[in-house]
Amino acid sequence: MAARIQIPREARRGDVIEVRILIQHPMETGYRHDDVGHLIKRNVINVLSCRYGGVEVFRADLSSGISANPYVQFYTVAEASGDLEFKWIDDEGQQGSERQSIVVKG
């Protein structure tokens, strides 16, 4: 499960930074049928979380109501240089994670 994350490379302490994440995932709703008429099992990303310097700053419960290749944009305050760690898990138990570092000045 590839993901694309965009955060500023550097920021000043106290700045509100924009965080964007796009995960490659079908977000299968569980209401569609395949070519031979069998229901395709639901498989969506349930939980997406973001930890900044080890502290959870954002979490989302997603459902089939979120588009395929889910995109989420949120904000956080640049506190200190470190990593933003993203983790997500889908119905099949597949986990994905990604990290991006930020340099905080001042």
Partner 1 sequence: MKRRDFLASAAGALALPGTAFAQVDPLDPLVRAFANGAAVRKGKVTLVLPQLADNGNSVPIRITVDSPMTAADHVKSIHLYSERNPVPNMANFYLGPRAGKAEINSRVRLAGSQRVTAVAKLSDGSFWYDAAPIVVTLSACLDES
Residues that bind partner 1 (CB under 8 A): 16-17, 27, 29, 31-33, 52, 55, 57-68, 70-77, 79
Query: 20 and 5 in contact (C-beta within 8 Å)?
Result: yes
Nearer to partner 1, 59 or 99 (CB): 59
Least separation in angstroms between residue 89's CB and partner 1 is 15
**Cα–Cα dist 37/20, whole Å:** 37
Nearer to partner 1, 1 or 76 (CB): 76
* CB-based burial label for 25 (10 Å; 0-12, 13-18, 19+): buried
Least separation in angstroms between residue 90's CB and partner 1 is 15
What is the residue whose two structure tokens read 């570092």? 101
Least separation in angstroms between residue 27's CB and partner 1 is 8
